[in-house]
Chain A
Amino acid sequence: MFYREAGQFKTSYQADGQIFPILQDRLALMVLLAVAIVVVPLVASPYALSAILIPFLIFSLAALGLNILTGYAGQLSLGTAAFMAVGAFASYNFILRIPGLPVLVAFVLGGLSAALVGIAFGLPSLRIRGFYLAAATLATQFFVVWCLTKIPYLTNYSSSGVITAQPIVILGYAFDTPDRKYLLVLAVVAVMALLAKNMIRSNVGRSWMAVRDMDVAAEVIGFRLMRTKLLAFAVSSFYCGVAGALYAYAYLGTVEPEAYNLDLSFRILFMIIIGGVGSVLGSFLGAAFIVLLPVLLNVVAHSLALPTSVASNLELMVFGALIIFFLIVEPHGLARLWQIGKEKLRLWPFPH
């Protein structure tokens, strides 16, 4: 009875096309943002910020990027981590070699570099589809990361291959504490999520979904396949690139190729499978799930006094089982469960 839409009429197409057409949703979002911006930095411990909230936001961004490519445009990709790596390394090099370059600009440039690599490795998608494309993206993953380890210029001739990320300073204000980093990441992710949602509900998003659902028909209607697919790769890689830069600068503190391995690509794929393929909300829910699950399992393992090896194996098993569980029970992921929950809430307390 609190969630009814009764009385909320839309009198213009503009109103009908809003991201959150229901008033209660808008209010909830305001409250959420208020909590996220004001309450959380005051209340959360540095551990919670650095180990849970910041990676959650960063992974949400990467998951959003992958969702654009795989969920909306239907191009299965196992190379997400490689694009993140490009973003990180490119940002590092831009900051290093252009003195006085604002950090945010460096991140954008890192994202653009990732977008260029994305377009290059997205070209095969014009000929190849389905699993074959997934296999081709493995080529991207392995080759790009190998390049980043083997080209000394990119690592500034570092002998160990591990470079420390420069501190983030914007307009003289240093972002060196967890709560400042958290707010910066929150701002970046919120803005980019909004841009993504806008693209998805516009013609661009429709072009991607058309290509995903039936590319021959899409061509007949007038969508240009090449442009659409490459744009999907470009935008997706841009998002992953920025996420990768944030991963290095606001989380790890170092820029190293090993952090962007195949395992990370799979983690992000799991995020969108569990969260909901083809859903912005799903990217966030999936990221939250994957970030919180190991923490939860650790707590359980500790309370049962299990050795760490057992705990990490259990984690693998639980992951695998959950993926299968979700695919059987709700292939559209947590986002769909959320929607179903909202539907039920609409009718509450009446059963139907």
Chain B
Amino acid sequence: MNLNFFFEVLIGGLLSGVMYALVAIGFVLIYKASGVFNFAQGAMVYFAALTCVGVMDKLGVSLWIALPITVAVMIALGLSIERVVLRPLVNQPEITLFMATIGLAFFIEGLAQLVFGAQVRKLELPIEDVPSQYLMDNYNILVSQFDIMAALVCGLLVTTLALLFSKTKVGRALRAVADDHQAALAVGIPLQRIWAVLWAVAGIVALVAGMLWGARNGVQFALTFVALKALPVLILGGFTSMPGAIVGGLIIGASEKMAEVYIGPLVGGGIEGWFPYVLALLFLLARPEGLFGEKIIRRI
């Protein structure tokens, strides 16, 4: 067995795991701050990426102009989601909100394709997808500069958000809201404003993820399925932990690639489709609240 090849597969897997983590972070952000599992996060990633390339196409502007426009659009999207979907559903059980986000996902997907069309587009970022010279020369390992950039961005995002939650007043308010909407309202936390901010930030996180994914795979509808892959990531990492999202992403990314490369040929391939989910399932049986998740205690 070629050790170099093994490392390449491993690192490739880890880096694709970083991409998963990027999407997962959006989930954690919203769940941690409002108790809502946002099934529409994948659709938001797609929407953000599509808006960016769509604006570039339709208005003929460069990436650097399209970006702020997209940010504005995502903020507007976040605000309208809060106003139209979340505000009427305050205090409803978690499962109702979850199902509402499923409906939201479909809506956003349809809207994105309606406005910008459904064909696959290429997204060009200033970072090239070429192997890093440094690693090639010194360690003889083929790793793309792009992937390294993505990993750095991911790390930066997670650190910023983690600090936001634990150190700032806003972060504390967000955690209170996640626990109990009614109680948060009762102590005077401006729920609506906080949620608006929250979803806008989630939109921007989705934009970051969308840019990186879009540059990697092209902006296409399949992007929405990335959201589904984020579920095993969250299960492993816990729904409320940012660092957990990264660790979970890395594990899922790596194990998925390894399984496909080493076990795949034995059973006819296509393992990537279900391996992360089965892995998550087995994991849940052993530890129902994930690696970093909070233990749920019920009192009777």
Q: B126: CB under 8 A from chain A? A: no
Taking A138-B231, A149-B270, A310-B114 as contacts, is the C-beta distance between A324 and B85 under 8 angstroms? yes
Q: A145: shortest Cβ distance to chain B, in Å?
A: 8
Q: A328: CB under 8 A from chain B? A: yes
Q: A276: shortest Cβ distance to chain B, in Å?
A: 13
Q: How many A-B residue pairs have CB under 8 A?
A: 124
Taking A138-B231, A139-B274, A327-B89 as contacts, is the C-beta distance between A124 and B298 under 8 angstroms? no
Q: How far is the CA of A149 from the CA of B103 in the complex (A)?
A: 30
A327 and B99 form a contact (CB under 8 A): yes
Cβ contact of A313, chosen from B99, B114, B270, cutoff 8 A: B114
Contacts of B118 in A (CB 8 A): 309, 313
Contacts of A216 in B (CB 8 A): 298, 300
A135 and B274 form a contact (CB under 8 A): no
Q: B144: CB under 8 A from chain A? A: no
A128 and B114 form a contact (CB under 8 A): no
Which residues of chain A from 171 to 220 have a CB within 8 Å of any chain B CB? 216-217
Total count of chain B residues near the partner, CB < 8 A = 47
Q: B167: shortest Cβ distance to chain A, in Å?
A: 28
Cβ contact of B281, chosen from A136, A217, A316, cutoff 8 A: A136
Contacts of B117 in A (CB 8 A): 309
Which residues of chain B from 79 to 102 have a CB within 8 Å of any chain A CB? 84-85, 88-89, 92, 94-96, 98-100, 102
Which residues of chain A from 101 to 150 have a CB within 8 Å of any chain B CB? 124, 127-132, 135-136, 138-139, 142-143, 146, 149-150
Q: How far is the CA of A315 from the CA of B274 in the complex (A)?
A: 29
Cβ contact of A142, chosen from B96, B104, B274, cutoff 8 A: B274
Q: A85: CB under 8 A from chain B? A: no
Contacts of B280 in A (CB 8 A): 135-136, 139
Q: How far is the CA of A324 from the CA of B107 in the complex (A)?
A: 10
A135 and B94 form a contact (CB under 8 A): no
Q: A167: CB under 8 A from chain B? A: no
Give chain A's interface secondary structure class.
Answer: helix
Q: How far is the CA of A327 from the CA of B102 in the complex (A)?
A: 11
Contacts of B105 in A (CB 8 A): 320
Query: What residue of chain A has the Cβ atom nearest to residue B40's Cβ?
Result: A320
Q: How far is the CA of A317 from the CA of B117 in the complex (A)?
A: 14
Q: B110: CB under 8 A from chain A? A: yes
Q: How far is the CA of A350 from the CA of B118 in the complex (A)?
A: 53
Q: Which residues of A contact B (CB under 8 A)?
A: 76, 124, 127-132, 135-136, 138-139, 142-143, 146, 149-150, 216-217, 262, 266, 269-270, 273, 309-310, 313-324, 327-328, 331
19 inter-chain pairs at a CB distance below 8 angstroms, sorted by A residue, are A131-B98, A132-B235, A139-B280, A216-B298, A269-B102, A273-B99, A309-B118, A317-B111, A319-B110, A320-B104, A320-B106, A320-B108, A320-B109, A322-B103, A323-B99, A323-B100, A327-B92, A328-B85, A328-B89
Give me the 8 closest cross-chain CB pairs, A-B, nearest first.
A323-B103, A320-B107, A316-B110, A320-B106, A317-B110, A139-B277, A142-B274, A313-B114
